[in-house]
Structure formats: structure tokens, C-alpha cells
Structure 1
Amino acid sequence: MNISIVVPAYNEAESLPELTEWIRKVMQQHNFSYEIILVDDGSNDGTWAKIEELHQTHPAVKGIKFRRNYGKSAALNVGFAATSGEVIITMDADLQDSPDEIPELYRRVKEENLDLISGWKKKRYDPLSKTIPTKFFNAATRRMSGINNLHDFNCGLKAYRSDVIKNIEVYGEMHRYIPVLAKWAGFNKIEEQIVEHRARKYGTTKFGFSRFINGFLDLLSIFFVGKFGKRPMHFFGTMGVLSFLIGTIMALWIIGEKLYHIAAHIKLEREVTDQPLFYIALVAVILGSQLFLTGFVAELVARSSSSRNSYQIEKEI
């Protein structure tokens, strides 16, 4: 099969018939073999009934239904597991992504041997309350991930080689950072393509302000797990040793100053315990010890994990 199209849907009963019909026309025009996997993320507006109806009239449509709303990342992860195509396309169900982009995305993945292509909605129809925070997070993600050629990490329209989606796990709000997950898994052929952003035709956006907070926390999680997931002692141990050394140096300075005054028979203006530096040194030593012990425990957990030696292997002979 050429293409698998994964579409997460939450209360999108109005848009699904138009979207699937549009996809069908594009696929037939280019003679692609394809499947459309619609994932109902706990909708309460009749979305699942519409998916069942589409499946009856359109055999290429497959459906997965969650018992409750888990979020876009969960929908994508389950949809990825159900795919069988060479190239996987993800798009939103709200008709803001155009299926007309699919043939070019497929061509580039195949001909340029790319792992992932992320859409860039250069011209957007979103309010400033959404576009400004999005630009900030995209800039932060570029800096932290080192993927400097992407302008829009969160664009729902993406194309993947099948190996990529079978070797990453998407959870929480991680769908925003799939290119980062792919890079940490060893897939480095990541490119961008300018795509059309259409105004929403049906319903309203399903994302609130909390997505920015959750997205930022997940970005930190990706950075930490990707860099230190298999060697947590390198992070906690380094921070702990630095803190411990700083505290020790401060303590030695205070002790040296005390001894000097005793040897010179000079009375200290104030006792050691009255100095702020004493408490700063004490906190630094305690914090350093705790960080080091945290790293030690995390190292034990990592070593006992069933996936401690699970690595992404591209080829075997």
C-alpha cells in the first residue's frame, strides 16, 4: 500500500464526509493505493456514527474509537500502530489541512529518501493569541533540538516514512514535537514543505491556553529523556557534584576565615552562624548530596528497565 492517512477527530462529525471525499478524489487522480484511519478521540457529537457510515460506503476508511478523550497524541500513536502504508500522512480533521498537498509530500519522501516532512503554514488564519505563542515555542524547540530547518513543529500535516512512526512513541502533548522524537530515535532526514492553511469551516478549535503550558513541559521532558534517558547520572551527578563543590568551597572559606582570626587573635565581628554565606554553603552541600543520590537511584532504575538496551537499529545483516 502506498499511503496511510491518519486523522485524529474530536467532535468533527460535520467535516469528516467532506474530508474523506476530498482525500478519495486526490488518491484516485494519482492512482494511489491508500487507507484512511479515522481515530475518534472520545467525541460526543456523533463522530463515531459518521465514521461507521463512511466505512460502509468507502472501504478505504477504517475507524478506531476511544472510550473517552485522551488527546491528539494518543490518537496519533494508536493510528500509527494501525497503518500499513509505505508513507504515512497525518492531517487534522477540521479541513484546515488540504489533501491536495499529499501527492507532493509522498513524492518527496520517496524520491528524496526523507524520513519526515513537516508542513509549514507560512500564511495562517489564526488569531494573534495563538500565532505569537506558537512562534515562541517553535523558536525554543529549534534551539533545544538543533532542528534548525523547521519553522512549524506543530503543523498537523506531516509525512513520514513508515519506519519512523513504528519506532517512536507519542504521548502527553508530544505530537507537537514528533520531529524531535524522530531525531532522538536516529531519523535525521527531516525537511519542511510550505503548505496551505485554510480557515476553519466547521466547529471551533479544541485547544485552550493549557496546551502552551503542557507543550512547554513536554518539550523539557523530550530534551531530558532524549539526552539523559539512558544515563541519568550524567545529569543529576554533574549538577550534584557542582553544587557540593560550591558549598564545600564556601564552607572552607568560612572555616579558613575563622581560623585566621583565631590565630591572629582578632575578634570576629559576628559568629559564623550569623553569616548568610554559612547557610548558602549548607544548602549547597545538602542539595548537591540529594542531586547525586537522585542520579544514583535514577541510574539503578534505568539499569533495571526492560528497555535499558532497546536501541533503534536501522539495518541488520
Structure 2
Amino acid sequence: MEMNPELTNRPTLPAGVSVVVPVYNSANMLADLVARLQPVLIATGRSFELVLVNDCSPDASWGVIQRLASEHEWVRGLRMMRNYGQHNALLAGIRAARFATLVTMDDDLQHPPEELPRLLAAFAGDVDVLYGTPQQLRHGLLRDLSSAVTKMVLKGAMGADTARLVSAWRVFRTELREGFSTYDSPFVNIDVLLTWSANRFRAVPVRHESRASGSSNYTVAKLIRHTLNMMTGFSVLPLQIASIVGFAFTLFGMAVLAYVVGRYLMFGSTVAGFPFLASIIAIFSGAQLFALGIMGEYLARIHFRTMNRPAYTVAESTLRPVDEQR
């Protein structure tokens, strides 16, 4: 059988670990993150790097990243042109990674770097993606609800058990990014993209700590937007719900018709006019607008994709010339 030349000519990534961290309002935590990661990564005995992706943070995060990159050769930084979102920033970092094993984690130290060896040890050859599932979640109610919706969307692609254990702390083979190398849309979810080139998912329980400083950057508006993007950008579930609602109201309409006709045939009287008619019109109009709203969300996303809006744009980086030649 003939091999695909694109696969045979693809350069092999050097053995090592690339850690990708999206950064937003974490200027006072990044130095601690680097200090705690360094001994852990050295102990692995592999080559390593840390890619800090500043998602246009309004605080001094980029200045801190530049300083850390100048002090540590293994720290690299990317600055986004504007705030694109956590998963978009992750995508930029994933595409910039240089080593064969890739780790993603948060910037707020809720993912203790000391737990990383457990993840790497559990990342065996028969696993494509490994999640570090928190033993105890320390998010708020809204964040937990958003996570529940995300896992519901992932359920169909990954399987019920694995989707339930999805986390922002991931370890996967960097070559999996080839499955979404041409993806260029403003709506990004790394877990969904990973399902395009991986089917062996596992999870191990890890310690999950409270945020080291400040509060979560996820506002109510961001959580709602993220939930809607997940439901309409990577799933047909809302359309299926609209179909079910339409079918249910069709049956309801047929039942109402049978009731009206049956009442007339049996008792020779009709149903009271205006209140009954107004109620039926309101119910069916609401169902129609609900279905149209869902279809409008999908059309809006198709519209945005036809505009060729990029997933992200890098404004500045700390890559050294030797890095850029690789």
C-alpha cells in the first residue's frame, strides 16, 4: 500500500515536554508558576519548554512573561493581538510547541505543578489524550454549569465516561495537532478538536487547589457565550431539540383538533373562542420563534466562518532566532 507523502515527509518532533499555559490577569502568579514548574520538569529527565500565551491581558502579564523569557531559556511567550478567549490562546500555543508531548494547564496554580509527574507517568503508549480530573472541583456554580454543558456536547464524540472527566489539564501527543492544522475559525474548543484525530482518552484523578490570587476571569456573560458556542458550534443537539419541540407541538395541535371536533360531534357545542384561540396561537408562535432562534444561531456561525475570521493573531513573541528557524 502506498503511503501518503505528506505523512512520510512530516518531520518527527524531538522527545520532550511542551507545557502550554494561556495567561490572563496573572502577572502576580507567573513567577511562582515558573519556579514550581522548573524542578518538576528537570526531574523528568527530558527536554522541556514552557509556552506562555498572553491573551491580551490588561494587567502587566506580558511584561512579566518577557522578563521570565529573558531569565529562562526554556520559557517562551506569545502575545495575542486582542483577547480571543482561552481555547483560542491554547490553539496558538499548541501550534507553537516544539516537543513530542504536550501539556496544557491553567495559569492560576489551581493545577499544582507537583502533580505533573503523575500525569506523565500515566501517559502510556496506548493513550492519545490524558486528562487530570480534579478530585474536588473548586469552581463556582456557574462555572460548574458551563462545564456540565461542555461535557454534554463532548459526550457524543468521546463517550459518556470520558466526557464526564474532561479537564483543562491535558497531556497529549503533539502530533495530534495535525488533525486540526487547517482549522481557522473564531469558535475554538480544544477538546472537540482533539477528537478529530484521537480516540483513546483516559483520565486520572489529581489534586486541585484554590486559585492562588484574585478571582476567576469567567464572568456570567463569558460563561453564557462559551456555553452557546459549544452547543451551536460543535453540536447538532439544539437542532435536534428544536425538531423534538416541533414534533411535540404537532402532536399537541392534532390533540387539540381532535378535542374540538369531538366536542362538537358529541355535545353540539364549540370551545370558547377568543381565550382558547389566543392561547393556542401564543403557544405555537413561541415554539416557532424558539426553532427560528436556534436556526439563526447556526446561520450566524456559518456567516462568521465565511468571513474567514482567524482563530487568533499573534502580535508579538519572545521567540529567539534559533527558535524561529526550527
1:191 to 187, 192, 202: 202
Instruction: Give, in angstroms, the shift of residue 181 of structure 1.
Output: 6.0
Return the offset for 1:38.
0.5
Equivalent residue number for residue 59 of structure 1: 73
CA distance in 2: counterparts of 1:132 and 1:294, whole angstroms:
27
With over 3 angstroms needed to count, the CA separation of the structure-2 counterparts of 1:170 and 1:91, relative to structure 1, is farther
Measured in 1, the distance between the counterparts of 2:87 and 2:184 equals 6
Residue 93 of structure 1: aligned partner: 107
RMSD of Structure 2 on Structure 1 (CA): 4.3
SS of residue in 1 equivalent to 2:161: coil
Equivalent of 1:160 in 169, 172, 176: 172
Q: Residue 91 of structure 2 is aligned with which of 58, 77, 89?
A: 77
Give 2:160's match in structure 1, choosing from 121, 135, 147. Answer: 147
Answer with 1 or 2: which has the greater Rg: 1
Once residues 305 and 41 of structure 1 are traced to their aligned partners in structure 2, the CA distance between those partners, rounded to angstroms, is 21
**Cα 1:282/1:196, change in 2 over 3 Å:** closer
CA contact (8 A) 2:108 2:211 kept: yes
The secondary structure found in structure 1 opposite 2:110 is coil
Q: Aligned partners of 2:249, 2:236: CA distance in 1, in Å? A: 19
Residue from 260, 263, 284 that aligns with 1:254 = 260
The one-letter amino acid of 1:249's match is A
Deviations for 1:39-85, whole angstroms, at most 9, x for unmatched residues? 11223443212222222232222111134444423322322232233
1:301: how far off?
9.1
Q: Secondary structure at the match of 1:80?
A: helix
1:159 corresponds to which letter in structure 2? V
Residues 176-206 of structure 1: per-residue CA shift (max 9 Å, x gap): xx546645x47442222222334555x3123
Pairing 1:114–2:121 present: no
The CA deviation at 1:9 is 1.8
Contact 2:232 2:297 in 1 (8 A): no
TM-score by length of 2: 0.66
Tell me the amino acid that sits aligned with residue 119 of structure 2. Answer: L
Q: Displacement of 1:243 after TM fit?
A: 1.8
Q: CA deviation at 1:226?
A: 3.9
Report sequence identity in percent: 21
1:119 is paired with a residue whose SS is: strand
Structure 2 counterpart of 1:162, one-letter code? T
1:206 maps to: 216
Which residue number corresponds to residue 315 of structure 1? none
Q: 1:248-287 maps to which residues of 2 (within 5 A)?
A: 248-258=254-264, 260=265, 266=268, 268=269, 272-274=272-274, 276=276, 278-286=277-285
Structure 2 unaligned residues grouped into runs of 5+:
1-13, 307-326
Q: TM-score, normalised by structure 1?
A: 0.68
Per chain length, whose mean CA-contact separation is higher, i.e. which structure has more relative contact order (CA < 8 Å, sep 6+)? 2
Whole-Å Cα distance in 1 between the matches of residues 79 and 64 of structure 2?
12
Q: How many residues align?
A: 286
What is the alpha-carbon distance in structure 1 between the residues aligned to residue 298 and residue 63 of structure 2?
Answer: 48
Distance in structure 2 (CA, Å) of the matches to 1:216 and 1:293: 19
Partner secondary structure for residue 5 of structure 1? strand
Asked if 1 retains the 8 angstrom alpha-carbon contact of 2:146 and 2:227, the reply is: no
Query: Residue 311 of structure 1 corresponds to which residue in structure 2?
Result: none
Q: 2: distance between equivalents of 1:304 and 1:46?
A: 35
Q: What SS does the aligned partner of 1:84 have?
A: coil
CA contact (8 A) 1:116 1:179 kept: no
- Structure 1 unaligned segments of length 5 or more: list them: 308-317
